[in-house]
Chain A
Amino acid sequence: MLSPAQNVRLRRYRVALGLAVTLAGFHLANALLFEPTARRYERAVRQLGELGLGSQPGGSGRVLPPRLYRLMAENSRRAAEVAELGATGGLATALLETSTRLMTECGVEVMATDPGNVVQSPRVAQVHVELKARARYAQLVTFLDRLSGSGKLIEVDRLNLVSDTPEQVEAQLSLTQYVFKTGPEAR
């Protein structure tokens, strides 16, 4: 219990006491809640940079999502292997095999294939192929759907559809697959 004199003193300084309590509470919350979180955030950003996935030049702050990194990892081979397969036509053959298999699964009739050239750069190889096929429009859409979920980095460079009959279209496709290079040779 406070004595009357203490009570009077407490009442006189109640505003200053209130301010001090608010300030102390704020500091406590900052020290216990915010600062540890801020430290964790800084550590996570640093770790992201150490993984080699930091900001883009120009500070756009874009990072490669883990799903795409996994996709990139699945589409990578040792640089020497990529060079050898590119020279022997193995990369183009593999791309043709993948695309014709997907087409057949979707009911698309493959009429002609043309393994194109392989463009080698220090970090990535671009494999080009051309295909000619006949299918219903919906089957081609299904093929594109299957291609997007194939786990391969395959781009549709060019697509030309001509209505063959009311039900069928004749399609010419140019596809490009990207194969990333790993190892010390890949600069």
Chain B
Amino acid sequence: MTGPLFTINFRRASWEQSRAEARRRVVRLGVGVAYAGVVGILLGLFGLNCALMSSRTTALERRVQRLRVARAAAPELRLDPADVTLVQRAAANPRLWRDKLARLAELLPPNARLTSLAVNPDRAAAPAEQLRLVISGTIRTGPERDRVQPVVRLVESLRRDAVFAAGFQNLKLISSRVPDAEGAAVVEFVVECR
């Protein structure tokens, strides 16, 4: 006896119909979820924009209020856009040098000593050129062969320090020399920051 050669599924039409229906349902669900997602993202962005706008507006209104109070103290003072730069620069200048000099004292190793320090040594009048600092000093070295190494390390630490190096485009070692070749334990250096 052999088994049936083929079978006939008399419910195939309804099976195919239910599959097509299931497919349609999945597509509908996908479209619905995508739509809800897009709308959700848009509403979220809208909400974030609203919140940002609101906080900025509040800050701006506070600033206007404070300016009104300040303005009432000096009603005759007329402002020019150039004054903004001038006032900002002049107000920040002593603090800038205080920070740099304080930081320099912290960054100098215990075996180093400043011999001179000059801010704007060329007496430049232009504000951009006034930010020039020349540091001269000495470092007492140990018995190592490369005596310039501590100076290089100092320059590197000055360059890496965010507070000290702020505003300087170029920070370099101008010169370093050992005064006496024989048995000298001191290296003289000059560092320029501009």
Contact = CB atoms under 8 A, between A and B. Distances in A.
A69 B63 CA distance: 11
A5 interface: no
Given A26-B43, A44-B60, A153 B101 contact: no
B145 interface: no
A70 B93 CA distance: 17
Nearest to A38: B53
Nearest to B119: A159
A37 B47 CA distance: 13
B149 interface: no
A88 B34 CA distance: 80
A73 B73 contact: yes
Interface string A121-159: 001100000000000011011001101100001111111
Most buried by A among B69, B78, B90: B90
A113 to B, nearest CB: 18
Nearest to A45: B60
Given A38-B53, A70-B73, A186-B78, A156 B91 contact: no
Interface stretch (B11-19, B109-117, B161-169): B109-117
B54 interface: yes
Given A56-B84, A57-B81, A180-B83, A37 B117 contact: no
A69 B67 contact: yes
A144 B67 contact: no
Given A66-B63, A73-B73, A137 B84 contact: no
Interface string B43-56: 10010011001101
B102 to A, nearest CB: 5
B87 A71 contact: yes
Interface residues of B, number: 54
Nearest to A161: B117
Given A29-B46, A137-B114, A160 B76 contact: no
Interface string A41-68: 1001101100111001100001111101
Interface of B: 39, 43, 46, 49-50, 53-54, 56-57, 60-61, 63-64, 66-71, 73-74, 76-81, 83-84, 86-91, 93-95, 97-98, 101-102, 105, 113-121, 123, 130
Interface of A: 22, 26, 29-30, 33-34, 37-38, 40-41, 44-45, 47-48, 51-53, 56-57, 62-66, 68-73, 76, 78, 123-124, 137-138, 140-141, 144-145, 147-148, 153-163, 166, 169, 174, 176, 178, 180, 182-183, 186
| Closest 4 A/B residue pairs (Cβ) | A73-B74, A144-B98, A66-B66, A159-B119
5 contacts: A37-B57, A63-B63, A137-B114, A178-B90, A183-B76
